[in-house]
Structure 1
């Protein structure tokens, strides 16, 4: 997956494998910084905050079948966070990432 505002000046290395997707990590996505908000959507029973990948939606190399598995959760949590006034204000534009 890529975004229209990304320009790749050379081919991306395919760091994905048959069983593991690959994505770019973004320094400004900080789940730990907003743990109180994140825990509303990722309870402690799901594991430590450090299990949340600090990736955006682009660039990502993922099999279509894997994307189909995670897309409903991704969509639902994205919408819930956007509708959560506290989350929307805390994350700002990063929420869209």
Structure 2
């Protein structure tokens, strides 16, 4: 929060987003994932040699446990896997997760 918001000179746009995410928050969270996960050495492609990196095991678990889709329906190329994850993340408007 900026100083001007804390002292009441400017309104606070959103304090806590409990019912969903606005576009600013969603983009910021995606950028954090991009900087610290997707761009991490070895995540998209293996560090040495060719082939997929950690994204392969990550996407298998994601497809199986979260998306509940057949794992063989995942795209073959790692960049396409990330495109699908990105589309889901950025388009998940109003999606609510509950814990049991």
| TM-score w.r.t. length of structure 1 | 0.30
> Larger RCO: Structure 1 or Structure 2 (Cα < 8 Å, ≥ 6 residues apart)?
1
- The structure number with the bigger radius of gyration is 2
Per the normalisation by structure 2, the TM-score is 0.30
Q: Which structure: greater strand fraction?
A: 1
